[in-house]
Amino acid sequence: MNADIGVSQERLREFWTGIVERGGLARQDPRQIVAGCRRLHPRRHERLRGDLVIHLAERAERVLRALAGAGLRHGGEDPVGDVVDAMVEAVLDPSSADGAGFEQSFRGKLQHRLIDKIRRGKVRRDIEQPAVCDAEGQPVDPIDGSSLGPEDEAMIQSVLAQLPEKHRLAFKLFRQGFDFSSKADKSIAGMLNITPKTAKEWVDRARERIAHELGRTP
């Protein structure tokens, strides 16, 4: 590897490690965090990239929920969650054009992806699911018993707040779709510097506690 690149990587690692350790990510421009995450080495800086991408995922979800408003889940789908998952994948892939787009306009890119996701979902539902009408022929919104309401989400956040930090991070990574272990550069075990078995145990415990509080099967 070129020596200049090595020096640049080390400076980048020191800078973002300092920000994370001081709890200063919330004060950083998300576009800069995206840039840092995409330029850090996927293997040597896997754990640090995990810290950055978890913060970005939480930040993106807050932005998207505010843009979308309440009650967006439809037919068991959650476009916000899908957009966040896609954003995480793009940011962690140095070759992704979408990742580069998030460096240019974090909020704008999220908004564009959310609108696109909602439109595609609506078209698919219109094609696959004929509208249900009442006796007067007026459309009736289907009842979605599988989605989580605001109270359920609040309960989940309450449970997570009681977990040790690493356990909480493991569960959040799991919700973002990361594997416990993977041959790729993105896994819960790699990002948190633990074994795949430990990662699974932490996630299983979190799921059990959440399921217990919600009165559901994990």
Question: Structural domain boundaries of the chain?
Answer: 8-146, 148-218
pLDDT in tens, the chain (218 residues): 344 445 588 899 999 999 999 999 999 999 999 999 999 988 888 889 999 999 999 999 888 888 776 444 444 456 888 888 889 888 988 888 889 999 999 998 998 888 887 776 654 444 344 443 434 444 434 333 344 556 666 777 778 778 887 888 888 888 877 888 866 557 888 888 888 899 899 999 888 888 887 766 55
Question: Are the CB atoms for 59 and 30 separated by under 8 Å?
Answer: yes
CATH of the domain spanning 148-218, picked from 1.10.8, 1.10.10, 1.10.357, 3.30.1380: 1.10.10
pTM of the model: 0.61
| Both structure tokens of 59 | 């930040």
From CA 19, how far away is CA 25, in angstroms rounded? 6
